[in-house]
A and B are shown apart, each in its own frame.
Chain A
Amino acid sequence: MKIDRREVLVVGAGAAALASLPLTAMAQDGAAEKTADELIAEFTGGAEVAEGDGVTLTAPEIAENGNTVPISVEAEGASEILVLAPGNPTPPVATFKFGELAGAHMASTRIRLAETQDVVAVAKLADGSFVRTSSNVKVTIGGCGG
């Protein structure tokens, strides 16, 4: 077990380091990255985004390992769903575009979360309007070696 003061502090804060990623260094390096708000504005073209109904984001309350967190998104009739992890060094996760032959407009995948945070999903609905939701995921550090 690496007993490293910074890591212990991180545990205390309930956050987690992805294996071998120095978090502080990442945050600095990521300064030039687009923020979640900028990415949402890009996605919506600046249109207003409603909160809540119309898009569902399913994610675990607590993720046993931030390297592999199962999530799914669904928005009936949506043409696109944007998923962001604003607490990551780079917030974009994925954008799902549903085609003519999509069944339910849903998708599941597995994502990386660098720390405890609100994962965000923004859907472009059939009428062209936008709706967003978020889900808090606590990322824990494993017992041995983080």
Chain B
Amino acid sequence: MADNVKPRVRVPKTASKDEVIQIKTLISHPMESGQRKDKDGNVIPRSIINRFHVTFNGTDVLDVAMDPAISTNPYFEFEAKVPESGEFVFTWYDDDGSVYEDKHSVEVS
């Protein structure tokens, strides 16, 4: 696992039924591209987050296949429809097999 990987997610705490809400996510990760070389000229192996997946109450919102051209500390902004109260699950998948997860509940009034 890359050191100190930490997700930040911004989701409104409340919404009205079927409201479309804006979500922003940021996660600290070096996203080593596999293109860089170290001081001795050896290629630094690729080590990135390769997938970002978002569900709400188990239903898909967004699924992103990520390549090394995504910047260090990957940022995403997108929209989701909230049909009922429930929970967003945000999951990032690392090349090295690590999985980072963050959950946020939204109350529908």
Contact = CB atoms under 8 A, between A and B. Distances in A.
- A-B complex is real: yes
Interface of A: 18, 20-22, 25-26, 29, 67-69, 72, 85, 88-104, 106-113
B103 interface: no
A21 to B, nearest CB: 6
Contacts of B76: 107-109
A106 B80 CA distance: 10
Interface residues of B, number: 35
Q: Give the interface SS of chain B, mostly helix, strand, loop or mixed.
A: strand
Nearest to B60: A99
A113 B68 CA distance: 11
A111 B69 contact: yes
A94 B71 contact: no
A90 B55 contact: no
A92 B20 CA distance: 29
A99 to B, nearest CB: 3
A125 to B, nearest CB: 17
Contact of B56 (A101, A109, A113): A101
Contact of B59 (A26, A95, A97, A100): A100
A99 B70 contact: no
Given A97-B63, A100-B60, A67 B72 contact: yes
Contacts of B69: 85, 88, 90-94, 111-113
B83 A92 contact: no
Interface in B5-51: 20-22, 33, 35-37, 43
A106 B78 CA distance: 6
A90 B68 contact: yes
Given A102-B81, A104-B20, A94 B64 contact: yes
Contacts of A103: 20-22, 78-81
Given A26-B35, A104-B20, A94 B65 contact: yes
A106 B22 CA distance: 11
B108 interface: no
A96 B74 CA distance: 14
A30 to B, nearest CB: 8
A72 B61 contact: no
Given A102-B62, A103-B20, A110-B75, 12 more contacts: A22-B37, A68-B72, A85-B69, A90-B68, A95-B64, A97-B63, A102-B61, A103-B81, A104-B79, A108-B76, A109-B74, A112-B68
